[in-house]
């Protein structure tokens, strides 16, 4: 992390009035939440992640798909927000006209204090009916791995008795229209977009930073590696979000380190 770059990014943030923070899998990976394909561990190694994440897979074997997503949700439950999530919430609290947009399906932004982040790819904590789309409560019990696999029968919809499905966006499905529309609107009207931990390769979500840049917003990128978003970023801060974002917040507002304690770069979700 280059200090002149941090100072340049801090100057942009200090003068911004409308901020969008756009996050991807990288920020949650720092809390121990496996990325989509990294989640295939243990007994799941015999499956293809993409083959499990389709409407067709749920239709053909709903217990298999529900079991995998419930296992993933149980891992998220054990994770804790890291200092990057807390810094995002700090930016949101200090810039009244700010919006958090995430590609992540976990609830770590909410637990860190962000208010109503826009979930472009849905949420593990918002299951819904597979037929009438009526919301269903997320199960309370942690998933236990049975000896012969992780198949679990999905619950039934309270309204129509059809099977409840995970509340995530599967391959071949459109992003939730309301969240996408709100995200594009926020990106179109912001004067600064901070993109964190995303490869910039997954469309249409990856178009959000591009929209902001095309309409004149400044772009700060936080990522340990180079990405296609380097082409539109005014400043690229190389490093993990749990280190870079607190440093950025401190550079602008002088926040006490205590604000970022209690959640380190890695959580307990491992």
On the CB side of 50, CA atoms within 13 Å amount to 2
Beta bridge partners of 119: 102
- Binding residue per annotation — 148? no
- Binding residue per annotation — 82? no
- Binding residue per annotation — 190? no
- Binding residue per annotation — 225? yes
- Binding residue per annotation — 223? yes
Dihedral over Cα of 171, 173, 178, 183: its sign: positive
Sequence-distant contacts of 202-207: CB under 8 A, at least 24 apart: 202/24, 202/103, 204/175, 204/180, 205/103, 205/120, 205/121, 205/175
- Binding residue per annotation — 135? no
Q: Nearest-CA neighbor of 240 among 265, 263, 209, 259?
A: 265
**Residues forming the active site:** 121
Instruction: Estimate to the nearest angstrom the gap between the alpha carbon of 69 and the chain centroid.
Output: 16
Tokens of 70: 């419930």
- Binding residue per annotation — 203? no
Task: Answer yes or no: are the C-beta atoms of 140 and 33 closer than 8 Å.
Answer: no
- Binding residue per annotation — 221? no
SS (H, E, C) 199-235: CCCCCCCCHHHHHHHHCCCEEEEECCCCCHHHHCCCE
- Binding residue per annotation — 198? yes
Task: Answer yes or no: are the C-beta atoms of 245 and 88 closer than 8 Å.
Answer: yes
- Binding residue per annotation — 104? yes
- Binding residue per annotation — 241? yes
Annotated binding site: 69, 72, 103-106, 129, 132, 157, 160, 197-199, 223-225, 241
Annotated binding site for Zn(2+): 129, 132, 157, 160
Annotated binding site for NAD(+): 103-106, 197-199, 223-225, 241
């Amino acid at each position: 992390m280059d200090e002149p770059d941090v100072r340049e990014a801090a100057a942009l943030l200090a003068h911004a009035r409308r901020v969008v923070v756009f996050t991807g899998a990288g920020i949650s990976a720092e809390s121990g939440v496996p990325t989509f394909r990294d989640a295939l561990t243990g007994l799941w190694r015999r499956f293809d992640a993409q083959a499990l994440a389709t409407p067709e897979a749920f239709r053909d074997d709903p217990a298999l798909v529900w079991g995998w997503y419930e296992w993933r949700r149980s891992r998220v439950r054990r994770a804790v927000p890291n200092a990057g999530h807390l810094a995002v919430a700090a930016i949101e609290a200090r810039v009244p006209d700010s919006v958090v947009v995430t590609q992540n399906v976990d609830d770590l932004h909410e637990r860190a204090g962000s208010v109503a982040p826009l979930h472009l790819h849905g949420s593990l904590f918002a299951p819904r009916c597979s037929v009438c789309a009526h919301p269903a409560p997320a199960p309370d019990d942690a998933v236990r791995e049975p000896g012969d696999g992780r198949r679990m029968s999905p619950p039934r919809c309270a309204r129509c008795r059809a099977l409840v499905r995970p509340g995530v966006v599967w391959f071949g499905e459109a992003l939730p229209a309301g969240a996408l529309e709100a995200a594009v609107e926020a990106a179109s009207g912001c004067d600064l977009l901070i993109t964190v931990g995303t490869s910039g390769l997954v469309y249409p979500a990856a178009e959000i930073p591009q929209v902001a840049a095309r309409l004149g917003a400044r772009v700060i990128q936080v990522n340990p590696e180079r990405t296609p978003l380097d082409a539109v970023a005014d400043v690229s801060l190389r490093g993990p979000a749990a280190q870079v974002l607190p440093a950025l917040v401190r550079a602008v507002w002088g926040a006490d380190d205590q604000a970022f304690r209690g959640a380190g770069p890695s959580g307990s979700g491992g």
